Amino acid sequence: MSSPTPIARSSGILLHLTSLPGPFGIGDLGPGARQWLDSLAAARQRWWQVLPVVPTGYGDSPYQSPSTFAGNLNFLSPEVLAAEGLVSATDVTACELPAGPIHYAAVIAAKKQLLALAYARFRAGAAAALRVPFQSFCDQEAAWLNDYALFVAIKDHMGGRPWWQWPQSLAQRDPDALRTIREKLAEAIETYRFGQFLFFRQWTQLRAEAHQRGIRLLGDIPIYVADDSADVWAHPELFLLDENRRPLFVAGVPPDYFSRTGQLWGNPVYDWNAHRRTVYRWWVARLQATLRWVDLVRIDHFRGIEAYWAVPAGDATAENGRWVPGPREELLEALRTALGQLPVVAEDLGFITPEVDELRERFHLPGMRVLQFAFGGEVEARFLPHRYSRNLLVTTGTHDNDTTRGWFEKLTAEERGAYEAYVPEATRDPVWALIRTGWASVADVAVAPLQDVLELGSEARLNTPGVASGNWVWRASEAQITDRTWIDRLAEYTQVYER
């Protein structure tokens, strides 16, 4: 197997789209995103790392989505819709919400109302130039779009209940029942299809503007999909389910740094034999779809491809799971055959065995190193920079970590001593010392969350694994994303370390 062209030495910032500033209660694909691209370019960055941009589900998590193919309609920009003649200035003003942490219930309600208004105007004749592109989009994306739009329309009709609590005829996808409900919910279904068209249109425009500034997008695929998803409902044969289409086993990880009882994610695990029989067609389509949004994909929990932690359904914790062999090289060979060079970063964190390393290295996939794990918490020697190879992405912390400021303040005296001995600058400048260490390393790509370049504390943490509420709500202000202090300093580091 020939080695692909390595990723050029470069750097970037991790900032989830939700965290962008703006007047509508959540980050979106409008002016705030373009302002952010300007800041990235001024800081000489070449990557914008985002978390999954799919719809969110339980706990507002982008890793518990009702679809692996759909876009999150909360990211639709009211200003862009107004510019295209789909909503009025009054409609835009009605969407405005207070600054500060995200209040998801208010955001979802406002954006749903805005989409309904946009579709009503479109049906009445507004934005006539979008009619042909909309139909083309619906034709091209029919394989997932029709099931997804039907799924969310039924879910709304059922008061938000999960699909297994729907009438059996709908839960089991009886053809006659589906035909009847499609007719009954036709307008809602078409509204959701139109919403997906608008999302793809806005995202494509933003990605093009990123490329114009020399910035590429690093995206994210959660290895699993949510139980309450169009994917499981429409394709139960791809998952290990019982006769009632309920999971036999659910996903998670054994006890680790983040949780003493393990992490019980609750996602249904795949029936890999079923995927094998289709030559992994669903996975190929999944990666192809994501690569229309981003230039490089991080596969979250890559180790689950080699072996996954299967927990009996109904267990209260992940402690009683067991390791089960995954699809391993078969899946990666199928993806490589379909896509050619694999534009994939393997998130190889957690319990990593030599077999996981061998699988990643065989396909020449960049792995990940988290600098916080070199000095504090569950310390591992492989995270020390002097052990790095080039084919890596190094980051100060991921979306699951505390901010570096918060992490440093919680270090024990022994851990702090080890960090300061390795990085003497840490004594007086602990956050930027860790950033500089990543930028100076041999790893091909270096990344830091925006919270770290802003030197924010634990109040700006995005997610705490194992904690059900209060996550995914942090937002930056316009002043923070345009602050020349961090922009100029990061630009200097990037130039000095040839990124």
Active site residues: 300, 347, 400
Residue 297, SS3? strand
Of 191, 188, 192, 190, the C-alpha closest to 66 is: 192
Separation between Cα atoms, residue 96 and residue 30, nearest integer Å: 14
Task: Give residue for tokens 């024990």.
Answer: 412
Residue pair 12/214 in contact (Cβ under 8 Å)? The answer is no
- How far, in Å, are 74, 151, 190 from residue 156 at the CA level? 16, 9, 14
Residue pair 330/311 in contact (Cβ under 8 Å)? The answer is no
In angstroms, what is the C-alpha Rg of the chain? 23
Count of CB atoms situated within 10 Å of the CB of 403? 26
Of 494, 474, 432, the C-alpha closest to 16 is: 474
What is the phi-psi region of residue 253: left when phi exceeds 0, alpha when psi lies from -120 to 50, beta otherwise?
beta
DSSP 259: B
Separation between Cα atoms, residue 87 and residue 77, nearest integer Å: 11
- How far, in Å, are 35, 418, 458, 486, 495 from residue 455 at the CA level? 20, 21, 10, 9, 21
Residue 158, SS3? coil
For 27-120, list the strands marked E by DSSP: 47-49
